[in-house]
Structure 1
Amino acid sequence: MSPFFVLSLLFGLIFGQTASLCAPSEYTIHVEKRECAYCLAINTTICAGFCMTRDSNGKKLLLKSALSQNVCTYKEMLYRTALIPGCPHHTIPYYSYPVAVSCKCGKCNTDYSDCVRERVRTNYCTKPQKLCNL
């Protein structure tokens, strides 16, 4: 192997994580409750982007921990609460949602992230829509 190739490989391994394009991204959540008259459109931030991953040809030779893929996930997040308009008095009209403050490339934690490859598109309203102003 040439010295240039080895140095390029080392540089890529060391700085690959910092070159990832994983960052907070604007996203709109649509929230509605059966009892309430309106659907609430909430503007928030989620973690989205590209993370360096590796796919080994020798999968049977490696430990399972070496085969995990990095995903763009939350480093820091906070929760905000919004009031869904048009709810009757016997209904709890509040909805809490996450706001990404910072993101990182790492293993997906199913405690607070959706780790599936494809998801069902349910981010829409079936009732008249109101915009959440925070």
Structure 2
Amino acid sequence: MSPFFVMSLLFGLTFCQTASLCAPSEYVIHVEKRECAYCLAINTTICAGFCMTRDSNGKKLLLKSALSQNVCTYKEMLYQTALIPGCPHHTIPYYSYPVAVSCKCGKCNTDYSDCVNEKVRTNYCTKPQKLCNM
């Protein structure tokens, strides 16, 4: 192999990781409880963005584990807790939610991420809305 080819290959591999646009992004979660009077709109951050992937031409020849693609997922996160207003005394009025501190391109972990391909619009309120100020 020529030195130019090797350097181009190393540069390409390095650039692919830095070209991934996976980062914490602002997001609003809407939280309701049947017993409570209000819907709570919580401003948080989630991991979102583009990760470099590749399409294998030999899909039938490769193991299934070799076909999984990288997704934008949590590298570091913490949990915060919000108080849902207008709840009766017999109801637990707290809701804990994740906050993305940093993100990475990697395999989707179903322990703490939603790994589905289709987007379903369920993030809305059916009750009067209150904004959570953390």
Give the Cα–Cα distance (whole angstroms) in 2 for the partners of residues 132 and 31 of structure 1.
Answer: 10
Give the Cα–Cα distance (whole angstroms) in 2 for the partners of residues 16 and 66 of structure 1.
Answer: 19
Give the Cα–Cα distance (whole angstroms) in 2 for the partners of residues 2 and 26 of structure 1.
Answer: 46
Which residue of the partner structure matches residue 30 of structure 2? 30
Identify which range, 29-38 or 58-67, moves more after superposition.
58-67
- Note the residue ranges of structure 1 that are not aligned, 5 or more in a row: none
How big is the alpha-carbon RMSD for the aligned residues of Structure 1 and Structure 2?
1.7
1:60, CA displacement in angstroms?
1.8
Change (3 A) 1:46 1:131: same
Give the Cα–Cα distance (whole angstroms) in 2 for the partners of residues 64 and 8 of structure 1.
Answer: 30
- Superposed, 1:36-55 pairs within 5 Å as 36-55=36-55
- TM-score, with structure 1 as normaliser: 0.92
- TM-score, with structure 2 as normaliser: 0.92
Identify which range, 89-98 or 111-120, moves more after superposition.
111-120
Give the Cα–Cα distance (whole angstroms) in 1 for the partners of residues 9 and 65 of structure 2.
Answer: 22
CA offsets per residue over residues 66-87 of structure 1, 9 Å max, x none?
2110000000000000000000
Corresponding pairs, count: 134
Q: Identity percentage over the alignment?
A: 94
Change (3 A) 1:14 1:66: farther
Give the Cα–Cα distance (whole angstroms) in 2 for the partners of residues 20 and 57 of structure 1.
Answer: 22
- Note the residue ranges of structure 2 that are not aligned, 5 or more in a row: none
